[in-house]
Amino acid sequence: MINLRTQREVSKLKDAAKISAQALQVAGEACRAGVTTWEIDKIVEKFIVSQGAEPSFLNYQGFPASSCISVNDTIIHGIPSKNIILKDGDVVSVDVGAKYNGYHGDNAFTFKVGEVDQNVSQLLETTEKALYCGINQAVVGNRIGDISNAIEKTVDLYGYGIVREFVGHGVGKNLHEEPEIPNFGPAGRGPRLMAGMVIAIEPMINQGDGGIKHCPDGWTIKTADGKPSAHFEHTILITKNEPIILTKL
């Protein structure tokens, strides 16, 4: 079932999304050479708790950390570790959510550590651009497929691979709700967008092809060819006018 949020619910979702966005900003400031992903996760967790919220990801279906931190060829669901030490040239996707007053916010950003290869920088720029192209289609009367197609068309211009096994989603009392929002597919298909819907749009784009590899830990997803990946995400509210990005500071 797709939920249409009341004004009261939207207010709570805005609060949760703001904390999520601030937590992501804190994580980005911590992404420096010599820092472990475990340290970044603890910084994120401390901030979220300091705001009276709960980390959405901690213990979600057994996930052992407060944020997913995915370095270079790790696409998503990277488990923070004391053994993963950031170095110059790395790109680091941080995906984080906060639960506040019973509602969730969810967002992700791929950060650069020091000087990054120009080709990898272009991957990040394109993925973020694709996110905003998708958001621009999130208007009343359009369909989910219009978001999906806008992302795909943007990515295809550069020949990058789109991860197809993982998609965007609704956000509310649960971290993942209906509808699913693929990052590919034809326009004009899927559920029609209505005012009051709150969704997370999140393109996951590989420098190579879209192939993925599941790691033995049961969580970590890597590119099959070992090339870098990028991941950007916002939680947005669909209104009678233009979409509102709830996780934008």
Under 8 Å CB-to-CB from 13, ≥6 apart: which residues?
Answer: 5, 103, 104, 105, 171, 172, 198, 235, 237, 246
Determine the distance from the C-alpha atom of residue 93 to the mean position of all C-alpha atoms in its chain, rounded to a whole number: 9
pTM of the shown model: 0.97
Architecture of domain 7-245: Alpha-Beta Complex (3.90)
The predicted pLDDT at position 206 comes to 98
Q: pLDDT digits over 59-72, tens only?
A: 999 999 999 999 99
Q: pLDDT digits over 132-162, tens only?
A: 999 999 999 999 999 999 999 999 999 999 9
The predicted pLDDT at position 124 comes to 98
Nearest in space to 205 (alpha carbons), one of 167, 155, 133, 141? 155
